């Protein structure tokens, strides 16, 4: 199962912070970290069903959600990409 989620940090990723850093007398450095991950179905379901909005479900609904996720994902598991941007600044 692959998902494509739009970025919520577009203004940071496209370089709009650099002028603010420059104004403040800072030098910035960007580093991207990308991990390509694969989760077994059980591991993925265990991870996503620990979120608070799932934990507040009635236990029967929780079990139903888990079963539906496991059926939907099947034996293939889930491929995921962890794409992180680190920005560090120093005084110029």
Q: Is residue 17 part of a domain?
A: yes
Is 12's pLDDT higher than 90?
no
Task: Name the residue range of residue 71's domain.
Answer: 41-76
Question: Which has the closest alpha carbon to 91: 15, 21, 17, 18?
Answer: 21
Looking at residue 74, its pLDDT comes to 96
Domain count, the chain: 2
Evaluate if residue 40 carries a pLDDT over 50: yes
Are both 27 and 48 inside the same structural domain? no
- In terms of Cα–Cα distance, which of 87, 91, 90 is closest to 16? 87
| Same domain, residue pair 21 and 45 | no
Q: Provide the mean pLDDT of the chain.
A: 85
Residue 58 is assigned to a structural domain of this protein: yes
More confident residue, 48 or 67: 67
Q: Is residue 2 part of a domain?
A: no
Residue 50 and residue 71 in one domain: yes
- For residue 51, pLDDT beyond 70: yes
Residue 67, domain member (yes or no): yes
Indicate whether 37 pLDDT > 90: yes
Higher pLDDT, 11 or 32: 32
Per-residue pLDDT tens over the stretch 68-82: 999 999 999 999 999
> Any bridge partners for residue 38, and if so which?
79
């Amino acid at each position: 199962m692959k998902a494509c989620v739009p970025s919520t940090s577009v203004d940071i990723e496209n370089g709009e912070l650099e002028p603010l850093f420059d104004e403040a007398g800072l030098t910035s450095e960007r580093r991207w970290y990308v991990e390509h991950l694969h989760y077994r179905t059980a591991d993925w379901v265990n991870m996503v069903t620990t979120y608070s909005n799932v934990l507040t479900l009635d236990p029967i609904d929780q079990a139903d959600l888990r079963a539906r996720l496991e059926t939907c994902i099947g034996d293939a598991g889930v491929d995921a990409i962890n794409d992180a941007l680190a920005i560090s600044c120093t005084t110029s």
